[in-house]
Amino acid sequence: MKDKKKYSRREFISASVKGAAVLSATSMLGNEAFGAFEKPGGIPRRTLGKTGMSVSILSFGGGSQFLKNPDGEWEKLLQKALDSGINLFDTAPEYTIANYFKPGEVKKSVGSSEERFGEILSPYRKNIHLITKIDGRDPATVKKSVEDSLKNMKTDYLDALLIHAISDKDTVADLEKGVYREIADLKRQGIVKFIGFSSMDSGGRSKDILQNLDFDIAMMAINPTKYRNYASIAVPVAREKGVGVIAIKVLRDIVGKDAKPAELFEYVWSEAGVAAAMVAHVGMKTFDENIKLAVKYGKATAASVNRQEMEFRLASYAGPHALSWARPDYRDGGIIV
């Protein structure tokens, strides 16, 4: 992609780049790659499936929890992430204060997660991986959405572009002839390195999509409640196809005393095929604790969590009465991440 610098962000998207180099995908590395360190004593990094990207097992989410941090605080969180070795950052155009909070609830001057990322992360662009998403399903809006995201984050390319919040309402056929075709074209042009989807409400549909469409990354809800059974239904297909798996909805601070944060993270990190846990943070105290948990996990020589016992203990949470994102009126980017 040596010609990339000749194009503006707008030209990248509007021009038909014939013969653009297609990024080669490496095969998924063996289990020995999991838990590998970028540096001794730091947050471990794992290979994200066939993307070949080495990503921190604790990654940084830009959803509403992150947006709750006021000016003067969110900047410190992003800098702390960089200083701690976190190199995978996820956001979406929908992640804005205007979408999820009433006026005055959050003191702000930068109300968009993408804009916040652009303010702090752009000087470190070569050392990090940026993910954003396509919120809707109208293929006509994809290129403009990506153009806006590139502008907001002050970059000329994305490491990954995901279709946001796959559910039972989505079908393989509709996606294939719609937004999937558009994001695959952006990948061919080199504007996007890798493509994928996120899902927190349909393990079955995620499996269908993984079996029928060529994705590089799947971001799915994986936790001991086994809600929608992503780990047993969709993750095996992702592993078979070399699709990199990122876990969301880890449940920290949601199940209270029924599970410790260390248990919840270890449950996710010990799931075969999971490269990283994507977590948004409010406040430095919790963020510091999570960083320490990631470092400690990397130093462990054996798993300490009893997965079956945890699943039994938290089984009662697997329903809309406990998990806010399982409620009919929930929008991704809402209160719980």
Amino acid identity of residue 214, one-letter, is D
Domain for residue 20, yes or no? no
Neighbours of 335 (CB within 10 A): 13
Strands 58-61 and 274-279: parallel
Q: Which pTM does this prediction carry?
A: 0.87
DSSP letter (8 states) at residue 57:
S
**At residue 81, does pLDDT exceed 80?**
yes
Q: How many domains does the chain have?
A: 1
Domain for residue 51, yes or no? yes
Higher pLDDT, 168 or 104: 168
Say if CB 120 and CB 147 are below 8 A apart: no
Q: Which residues pair with 162 in a beta bridge?
A: 133, 196
Domain for residue 4, yes or no? no
Domain for residue 179, yes or no? yes
Domain for residue 258, yes or no? yes
Our measurement of the distance from residue 149's CA atom to the centroid of its chain's CA atoms, rounded to an integer in Å, reads 15
- In angstroms, the CA 35 to CA 269 distance is 9
Report the range of poorest mean pLDDT among 27-31, 38-42, 267-271: 27-31
Report the range of poorest mean pLDDT among 75-89, 150-164, 308-322: 308-322
Domain for residue 24, yes or no? no
For residue 170, report the phi and psi dihedrals to the nearest 5 degrees.
-80, 145
Amino acid identity of residue 239, one-letter, is R
Average pLDDT, the chain: 86
Our measurement of the distance from residue 18's CA atom to the centroid of its chain's CA atoms, rounded to an integer in Å, reads 30
Domain for residue 23, yes or no? no
Q: How confident is the model at residue 34 (pLDDT cuts 50, 70, 90)?
A: very low
| pLDDT at position 25 | 31
**At residue 263, does pLDDT exceed 90?**
yes
Domain for residue 8, yes or no? no
Nearest Cα to Cα of residue 244 among 17, 21, 52, 95: 52
For residue 261, report the phi and psi dihedrals to the nearest 5 degrees.
-55, -40
**At residue 332, does pLDDT exceed 60?**
no
- In angstroms, the CA 230 to CA 239 distance is 12
- In angstroms, the CA 48 to CA 133 distance is 18
Nearest Cα to Cα of residue 245 among 318, 193, 298, 196: 196
| CATH number for position 270 | 3.20.20.100
Report the range of poorest mean pLDDT among 1-5, 187-191, 243-247, 285-289: 1-5
Mean pLDDT over residues 272-297, rounded?
Answer: 96
| pLDDT at position 109 | 80
Nearest Cα to Cα of residue 60 among 128, 149, 134: 128
**At residue 282, does pLDDT exceed 80?**
yes
Q: How confident is the model at residue 1 (pLDDT cuts 50, 70, 90)?
A: very low
- In angstroms, the CA 56 to CA 88 distance is 6
As given in the structure block, the two tokens for residue 246 are 């990122």
Domain holding 272, by residue range, is 38-326
Report the range of poorest mean pLDDT among 1-15, 142-156, 252-266, 297-311: 1-15
Strands 44-47 and 54-56: antiparallel
| pLDDT at position 337 | 32
Strand ranges in the chain using DSSP code E only, listed in sequence order = 36-37, 44-47, 54-56, 58-61, 88-90, 129-134, 158-166, 192-199, 217-221, 244-248, 274-279
| pLDDT at position 37 | 45
Report the range of poorest mean pLDDT among 104-108, 168-172, 195-199, 240-244: 104-108
- In angstroms, the CA 221 to CA 211 distance is 18
